[in-house]
Amino acid sequence: MSLTDLGAGVVKLLPPEAAHTATIKALKLGLGVPLNAPPANPVLEVVLPKSGLKLPSPVGLAAGFDKNCDVPNAMAKFGFGFVECGTVTPKPQPGNPKPRLFRLSEDKAVINRMGFNNFGLDYFVRRLKMYQGAVPVGANVGANKESTDRIADYVTGLEAVAPHADYVTINISSPNTPGLRGLQDRASLEALLTACGAADRAGKPVFLKVAPDLDDQAIADIVGVVRGPGAWLSGLIVSNTTLARPDSLRSADKGKMGGLSGAPLFGPSTEVLAAFARALKGEFDLIGAGGIASAADAYAKIRAGANAVQLYSAMVYEGPGLAEAINRGLPALLKADGFKTLADAVGADL
């Protein structure tokens, strides 16, 4: 057993949020961090069509793991093709009362109601300026819980992080800030994207992160706005956590309030991803997130229309080596289906 494995085992004995805090502190100290990132496989290199982002691997780290941009340099060495930090809000905020993070071990899932706990934009931007990793870094922005003008919060966040990030994500889909998902409604989304589009002077790629809990009409409305006032966007990240509770859940904490992520989210989030892919017909970049825990999962997202993918919750159970394991497994899956490049497989199941 390596020191990294031993450390991971000890961390799992801690309560979930304490384990996460300990992990971030260890990574900041360089504990368990590889000296160098694993070599990239040319077959997995991808250029996102609209944004032009060049990724050495399609496997990215989702927002939520590194809320304050404390360890992007460390995470870039674990085989991720891109890392996304945040969600950050203009003002620091403590988030929701504890406990607010729950492991559903029997279901390989997590429920969180963190509530955008973070140190605020000033701290985040200072850390972002220090990033020297070899892969693109993204900044995920949100609104303060007590804000009286949430659209203004997104504009402030976008203007602050865009000069220093490779891309920005507008997160309107967290279920843990009351009323936030209302920004996905057509009129609100039009106002938000119009304001953010006018503020996007840095010219960096910008993505919109949406929820999995969308019906056909909601998807159609978002597509309409993205093609209209949001046409300046690079693409969508599909999806955030879900408020649904599948009957298959077995864990004792399955009834906790918050957003569910991990294995149970894979199916629903992939269906919503495919719906957006069919509607948008390659006009925008799509990043698939939700329930990815293996190369087969990542490949299914790609075949459902994702140009790239993101993961986070599965690392709770599989460890930080998961990205590299997926990178090792993807080329064989592509070859078995006769694809020479990853881009050839995008949307194959549509």
- Asked whether residue 156 falls in the same domain as residue 304, the answer is yes
Strand partners, 207: 169, 235
Rounded to an integer, what distance in angstroms lies between the CA atom of residue 98 and that of residue 82? 30
Q: Residue 182 in 3-state DSSP?
A: helix
| Residue-number span of the structural domain to which 303 is assigned | 38-345
pLDDT at 3 over 80: no
- Residue 350 within any structural domain of the chain: no
Confirm whether 227 is domain-assigned. Answer: yes
Amino acid identity at 329 = G
Q: pLDDT digits over 194-242, tens only? A: 999 999 889 999 999 999 999 999 999 999 999 999 999 999 999 999 9
Q: Report the 10 Å Cβ neighbour count for 253.
A: 18
Query: What pLDDT is recorded for position 48?
Result: 98
State the pLDDT confidence band at 4, using cuts at 50, 70 and 90: very low
* Averaged confidence pLDDT in the chain: 95
Asked if pLDDT for residue 1 goes beyond 70, the answer is no
Query: Which CATH number do you get for residue 201?
Result: 3.20.20.70
Write down the pLDDT at residue 10.
56
For the chain, what is the domain count? 2
Asked whether residue 9 carries a pLDDT value surpassing 60, the answer given is no
Tell me if 180 is assigned to some domain.
yes
Tokens 């879900």, located at residue:
242
Residues carrying an active site annotation: 174
- How many other C-beta atoms are found inside a 10 Å radius of the C-beta of residue 334? 20
Token pair of 159, please? 């203007």
Residue whose C-alpha is closest to residue 58's, from 337, 332, 288: 288
Residue % of the chain over a pLDDT of 90 = 95
- Cβ neighbours of residue 120 under 8 Å, at least 6 residues apart? 88, 89, 90, 91, 92, 93
d(C-alpha 247, C-alpha 219), whole Å: 25
Q: Would 92 be classed as within a structural domain?
A: yes
- pLDDT, tens digit, 9 for 90 and up, residues 265-298: 999 999 999 999 999 999 999 999 999 999 999 9
Q: Check whether residue 28 and residue 42 sit in a common domain.
A: no
Q: Is the dihedral of CA 300, 304, 307, 312 positive or negative?
A: negative
Residue among 334, 311, 225, 238 nearest 277 (CA): 238
DSSP helix, strand, coil percent of the chain (3-state; round to 5)? 40, 15, 45
Region 168-183: what's the mean pLDDT? 96
Whether 207 maps to a domain, the answer reads yes
The whole-model pTM stands at 0.96
Please name every residue paired with 104 in a beta bridge, in sequence order, or none if there are none. 109
Q: What is the pLDDT of residue 8?
A: 54
Same domain? For 295 and 184 the reply is yes
